[in-house]
Amino acid sequence: MSASRWDDDPDLGEVIVAEDALQERVAQLGVQLTADYHGRPPLLVGVLKGAFVFMSDLARAIRLPVEVDVMAVASYGSATTTSGVVRIVKDLDSDLTGRHVLVVEDIVDSGLTLSYLRRSLLTRQPASFEVCALLVREGRQRAKLDLRYVGFHIPSRFVVGYGLDVAERYRNLPDIRIYQGSVPVD
């Protein structure tokens, strides 16, 4: 779909992070992660489904032989606000013992999902544990966050694109935009 066709969608608002800014920041994170993990290639743990686009681009930007695994957690369903209840829908296939784990997250909102993941994954005894979040929604954190790698801080608005969705729609947008429509009914 061309940019002009996306612009005609009444449910999509302003662009919060443009496609070129995403590409530039992912490249910068790749350089930083390559330096920080030199000699100890990380296991990238992508949080599905939202982080799949970001993790794919990030993995290619890291100039080390990274390994990749994914897990799926649920806290939103098809809503635009978190339920506060986190559950693991798909667990990792990899053993984390002694591994350098880098969780790749699409967006940090309340921080509850990330806090839950951190507690859960740290019990698996990784050698190190860090988080790389594409987006942090300002002013919404209800849990203390320790984020070493952040792509962008954004306003407290619901956004879609670059992997983020509403009811499975708009993941394929090349940029990140405010979602101003109603939640589609299944």
The DSSP secondary structure of 4-39, one letter per residue, reads: HHHHT-TTEEEEEE-HHHHHHHHHHHHHHHHHHTTT
∠ CA 45-114-65, nearest 5°, is 20
Tokens of 45: 């743990």
Q: What is the pLDDT of residues 94-135, one digit of tens each?
A: 999 999 999 999 999 888 888 889 999 999 999 999 999 999
Closest CA to 17 of 135, 180, 171: 135
| Sheet containing 87-90: order of strands | 87-90, 67-74, 43-48, 100-108, 128-137, 149-154
List the catalytic residue out of 106, 109, 165, 175: 109
Q: How far apart are CA 152 and CA 10, in angstroms?
A: 25
Residue 81: pLDDT band (50, 70, 90) is low
**Which fold is adopted by the domain 19-154?**
Rossmann fold (3.40.50)
- 48-64: string of b/e by CB count within 10 Å (b at 16+)? bbbbbbbbbbbbebbeb
The pLDDT, as a whole number, for residue 140 is: 64
Is 11 annotated in the active site? Answer: no
Question: Which of these, 16, 7, 34, lies nearest to 107 by C-alpha position?
Answer: 16
Q: pTM of the predicted model, to two decimals? A: 0.88
